[in-house]
């Protein structure tokens, strides 16, 4: 299932989005939140497959500074995910009349989803995280430092430029804040206990950006948390194990629609 790309305006800035319409009743809308270097196009066809399999309205968007959305002036501060979760996302949901969604977040997007859910400002039907972080690990920093070297010495900029209008700014905003010494204190575990909706936690056993301690922290902190650990899977379950990830999402959404 393919839907046309368009733009929506949030706080005076255009955000690239794809909005798959619902084709079944009594399904919560789904909102996809991309990773730290992600965008609408970097999800590939996965959101469309989820939309087709669930029948739910499915929104995919690029955050400001990503994809074809408006550029971001300046760089990120350590609270950049909090600002997305507590300011931008509520405004986006309101502008598109999306109520009680399931947030599906990959990496940074998963962390944003957890912050939003824990803040309790908008009722949610559920949260699905793919390789989310709730604190900073040495493994994360080492892999992000490796990404810096790859960006400087390989064709990674050319590959990413297919998906971002300003690839240099997009990459360095993300990379510099994660490698900033101030960011080592970043921690969102305090939001977990106040999450009132069910949470499905999906992570690859070979994730190069986070250990299973991330899963354990979310599962122990959230009242209703379910886990799926995927073998032969790195940081992107929807790419490395798409069928298992799709099946888990459909099953989770089915339980919320019953």
Is the pLDDT at 20 greater than 80? The verdict is yes
Model pTM above 0.95: yes
Q: What percent of the chain has pLDDT over 70?
A: 98
DSSP label at residue 206: T
DSSP label at residue 139: H
Is the pLDDT at 135 greater than 90? The verdict is yes
pLDDT of residue 121: 87
Q: What is the 3-state secondary structure (H, E, C) of 44-108?
A: CCHHHHHHHHHCCCEEEECCCCCCCCCCCCCCCCCCHHHHHHHHHHHHHHHHCCCCCCEEEEECH
Give yes or no for a contact between 130 and 236, defined as CB atoms under 8 angstroms apart: yes
For CA atoms 198, 95, 29, 36, the dihedral sign is negative
Strands 126-130 and 199-204: parallel
Tell me the C-alpha distance between 240 and 253, whole Å.
21
Is the pLDDT at 1 greater than 80? The verdict is no
| Residue whose C-alpha is closest to residue 57's, from 106, 104, 16 | 104
Q: What is the 3-state secondary structure (H, E, C) of 14-54?
A: EEEEEEECCCCCCCCCEEEECCCCCCCHHHCCHHHHHHHHH
Q: What are the structure tokens assigned to 171, written together?
A: 């990459």
| Residue whose C-alpha is closest to residue 252's, from 216, 213, 200, 203 | 200
CATH number (domain holding residue 216): 3.40.50.1820
Tell me the C-alpha distance between 111 and 137, whole Å.
14
Residues in CB range of 166: below 8 A, 6 or more apart:
65, 71
Query: Which position has the token pair 């368009």?
Result: 6
| Residue whose C-alpha is closest to residue 121's, from 77, 88, 96 | 88
The helix-helix angle for 242-257 and 46-54 (nearest 10°) equals 40
pLDDT band at 181 (very low <50, low <70, confident <90, very high): very high
For the chain, the domain total comes to 1
Within 10 A of 253 (CB to CB), how many other CB atoms are there? 23
Taking only the tens place, the pLDDT of each residue in 195-245 is 999 999 999 999 999 999 999 999 999 999 999 999 999 999 999 999 999
Q: Give residue 148's domain range.
A: 5-257
Taking only the tens place, the pLDDT of each residue in 37-73 is 999 999 999 999 999 999 999 999 999 999 999 999 8
């Amino acid at each position: 299932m393919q839907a046309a790309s368009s733009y929506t305006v949030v706080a005076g800035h255009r955000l690239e989005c794809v909005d798959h319409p619902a084709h079944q009743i009594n399904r919560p809308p789904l909102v996809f939140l991309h990773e730290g270097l992600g965008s609408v196009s970097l999800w590939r066809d996965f959101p469309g497959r989820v939309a087709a399999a669930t029948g739910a309205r499915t929104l995919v968007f690029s955050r400001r500074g990503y994809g074809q959305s408006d550029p971001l002036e300046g760089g990120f501060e350590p609270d950049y995910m909090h600002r997305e979760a507590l300011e931008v996302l509520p405004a986006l949901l309101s502008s598109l009349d999306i109520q009680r969604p399931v947030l599906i977040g990959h990496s940074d997007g998963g962390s944003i989803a957890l912050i939003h859910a824990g803040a309790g400002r908008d009722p949610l039907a559920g949260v699905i995280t793919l390789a989310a972080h709730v604190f900073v690990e040495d493994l994360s920093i080492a892999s992000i430092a490796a990404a810096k070297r790859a960006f400087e010495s390989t064709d990674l900029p050319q590959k990413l430029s297919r998906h971002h209008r300003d690839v240099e700014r997009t990459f360095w905003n993300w990379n510099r804040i994660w490698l900033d010494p101030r960011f080592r204190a970043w921690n969102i575990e305090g939001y977990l206990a106040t999450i009132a909706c069910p949470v499905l936690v999906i992570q690859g056993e070979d994730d190069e950006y986070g250990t299973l301690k991330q899963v354990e922290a979310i599962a122990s902190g959230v009242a209703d948390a379910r886990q799926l650990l995927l073998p032969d899977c790195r940081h992107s379950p929807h790419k490395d194990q798409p069928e298992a990830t799709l099946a888990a999402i459909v099953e989770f959404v089915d339980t919320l629609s019953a």
